[in-house]
Amino acid sequence: MAAGIVSAQAQEQQKPEQQKPGKSFVETFDTLDKKLWYVSDGWSNGDHQNCTWSAKQVSVSGGTLKLGFAAGESKGRKYVCGEVQTNQRFGYGAFEVRMKAVAGSGLNTGFFSYIGPVHKQPHDEIDFEVLGKDPSKVQVNQYVNAKSVGSAKLVEVPGGADKGFHNYAFVWEKDRIRWYVDGKLVDEATDPAKLPSHPAKIYLSIWGSDTLKSWMGPFVDPGKPIAAEVDRVAFTAPGDACQFPDSIVCKLNKGTQ
């Protein structure tokens, strides 16, 4: 449900050559590379979301991307929130993030791949979502053709997703998906009917909901501006070399996972 219903206002910002699956990269946020990232601004993902995406809630400093959530009237909503998405789409490979999520009932910190009708494609998605009502865990899941086909499994994050930076990775292959938290395998999908097949954009976001209480908990106003933090994002295409020492690709190449 990370992307869920995407507004038609979330228009494609891509040139024809950018429709080809992207190549391996490592982003450490020394700056916000606008060739790589598109900043969502001025819409929401549907009535379930109580905040409007705002470019003012996206910033980079000290090698860290900050995605904020704060009180602020915008487009009929009482809050504003931050999201970035890649301009390019990425196919099979290892998707990795090092991030610190936020705590708070009714809040969601997400790292996921998504493609859908707004891109003139079927809705496919692979998720990591930290539900702020219990940041000791992260939820993993996947969508195929707009249907949740995963277990929506909650897995432990050692020390808490909101207490420090943790490594989250999913390795997407034609015949399986594997999810990892801090290098540990936490879930796997192998049913062909439950595997996305369309190259997708990478998203990072924080948002809230007044209505998804059974899933995210009753929304509680944080009382002050808050922000999720992202230290690094990487994609490694199949067959490419490990790009940094604690990449899941290094472990897989060594046969330790």
Domain CATH for 149? 2.60.120.200
Please indicate, yes or no, if residue 3 is contained in any of the structural domains.
no
Q: Is residue 99 part of a domain?
A: yes
pLDDT at 236 over 60: yes
State mean pLDDT over 224-235.
Answer: 98
- Residue, of 21 and 185, whose pLDDT is higher: 185
Number of alpha helices (DSSP H) and beta strands (DSSP E) in the chain: 2, 18
List residues with catalytic annotation. 125, 129
Is the pLDDT at 218 greater than 60? The verdict is yes
Q: Is residue 2 part of a domain?
A: no
Q: Note whether residue 97 is domain-resident.
A: yes
Q: pLDDT tens-digit profile of 90-126?
A: 999 999 999 999 999 999 999 999 999 999 999 999 9
Tell me, yes or no, whether 7 lies in a domain.
no
- Counting the structural domains of the chain, the total is 1
Examine residue 58 and state whether it is found in any structural domain, yes or no: yes
Of 103, 75, 106, 59, the C-alpha closest to 9 is: 75
Query: Phi and psi of 248, rounded to 5°?
Result: -65, -25
- DSSP assignment, residue 132? T
pLDDT one-digit tens code per residue, 18-33: 467 899 999 999 999 9
How many other C-beta atoms lie within 10 A of the C-beta of residue 251? 17
- Asked if pLDDT for residue 201 goes beyond 60, the answer is yes
> CB 253: neighbour CB atoms within 10 A?
12
Report the C-alpha gap between 200 and 44 in whole angstroms.
Answer: 19
Helices (H), 112-243: 213-216
Cα separation of 230 and 166, whole Å?
10
Range of the domain at 115: 21-253
Q: Is residue 13 part of a domain?
A: no
Q: Is residue 44 situated within a structural domain?
A: yes
Query: What average pLDDT does the chain have?
Result: 93
User: How confident is the model at residue 1, as a pLDDT?
Assistant: 59
